[in-house]
Amino acid sequence: MLAKMTDRYVLLTGATGFVGSELVKQLSPQKLKVLGRSNPAIDDAIFCEAGIDGSSVYSAHLEDVKCIIHSAARAHIMNDTVANPLEEFRKVNTFGTLNLAQQAAIAGVKRFIFVSSIKVSGESTQTGKPFRHSDKPSPEDAYGISKYEAEEGLKKIAEETGMEVVIIRPTLVYGPGVKANFLSLVNLVRKRIPLPLGLINNQRSLVAIDNLVDLIVTCIDHPNAANETFLVSDDDDVSTTELLKRIGTAFVFKPMLLPIPRWALTIPAAMLGKKSVVDRLYGSLQVDISHTKHRLNWTPPVTMGQQLAKIADSFNSK
């Protein structure tokens, strides 16, 4: 006889990653298993040693699991040098995900939460025309394609087995410990370097790590989450210029933003082979999270200012 649902485990993949490590902090009241290649040594959690790929056998780790939160992935890489990036992404993001999900369904896991990516929706939006959960997916790069293929495979598994699937597509995630492009912006502001980015009028949706984790935890048991796709952001879109100003506010000083027109940056950037950097700084990517809010009766619990203040505190405490 199966234990009561409240007594069964949540299994988390990617526990050592940026999102997974924050999830661990919020999942402590749950009975928790963590699955991965290295043991993160989490108190009161059961470590399950296994990789995420198309051939691993997970049956021994799935006993008494009620829900899987799958946050492990081969991360998006700006300048990937492998011969076939799509095949490399597929190994983990597509084949690994579907292998785990198929075995989970066989083992009687009730719900599979997949942390996907807004890149499944596309790379950019026109200002005022945000992505919606019901839009036709339009991934453009290998990472986004691998996540989209995983989403489609998960929907098929749900239809065939009855296991509930929840798909979450975050926008750019930020918070203490963030790396890559967002960290670069923070460091530029912290160094008080004059930046020629004072005239950018785009719109970007971002999601605080605290808001993303809160949504994922909400989806563990929420009856309305089953077989849904949720877009997630702070519900507070900003331009790149405004974002830099808010980062400055978090560090208690005003950044030096020079009012330089886009063309004056595009020409030298193109000559240096960096036009794509300018395009990202000026491009828009908005999401409409009304479906997420209404379906789950959920609102982001943390403001952008509060999350940026946490980032500032993490630097000041070093």
CATH of the domain at 129: 3.40.50.720
Mean pLDDT along residues 81-106: 90
Residue 29 in this model has a pLDDT that exceeds 70: no
pLDDT at 78: 55
Domain extent for 121:
7-178+206-235+287-302
The count of domains in the chain is 1
* Lowest mean pLDDT, pick from 51-55, 204-208, 313-317: 313-317
* 242: in domain: no
Quick one: average pLDDT of 70-82? 75
Give residue-wise pLDDT tens across range 274-290: 888 888 888 899 999 99
User: Residue 282 falls within a domain, yes or no?
Assistant: no
- Residue 201, in any domain of the structure: no
DSSP character at residue 16: T
Residue 188 falls within a domain, yes or no?
no
The residue written with tokens 């098929």 in the block is 156
Query: Is the residue at 243 inside a domain?
Result: no
**Strand 111-115 with 164-170, pairing:** parallel
So what's the pLDDT on residue 1?
Answer: 28
First to last CA, the chain: 51
Residue 314 lies in a domain: no
The per-residue pLDDT for range 191-239, each reduced to its tens digit, is 888 999 999 999 999 999 999 999 999 999 999 999 999 999 999 999 9
The reported pLDDT for the residue numbered 80 is 59
Q: Which of 143, 148, 174, 282 is catalytic?
A: 143
Q: Is 143 a catalytic residue?
A: yes
**Please, which pLDDT band fits residue 103 given cuts at 50, 70 and 90?**
very high
Q: Whole-number mean pLDDT of the chain? A: 90
When pLDDT is averaged across residues 231-248 and rounded to a whole number, the result is: 95
Distance (Å, whole) CA 198 – CA 192 = 14
The pLDDT of residue 3 is 34
Whether 304 and 238 have beta carbons less than 8 Å apart is answered as yes
In a domain, 281, yes or no: no
pLDDT tens profile 114-173: 999 999 999 999 878 999 999 999 998 999 999 999 999 999 999 999 999 999 999 999
Query: How many other C-beta atoms lie within 10 A of the C-beta of residue 78?
Result: 9
Task: For Cα atoms 114, 90, 130, give the angle at the middle one, nearest 5 degrees.
Answer: 55
Flag whether 113 is in a domain.
Answer: yes
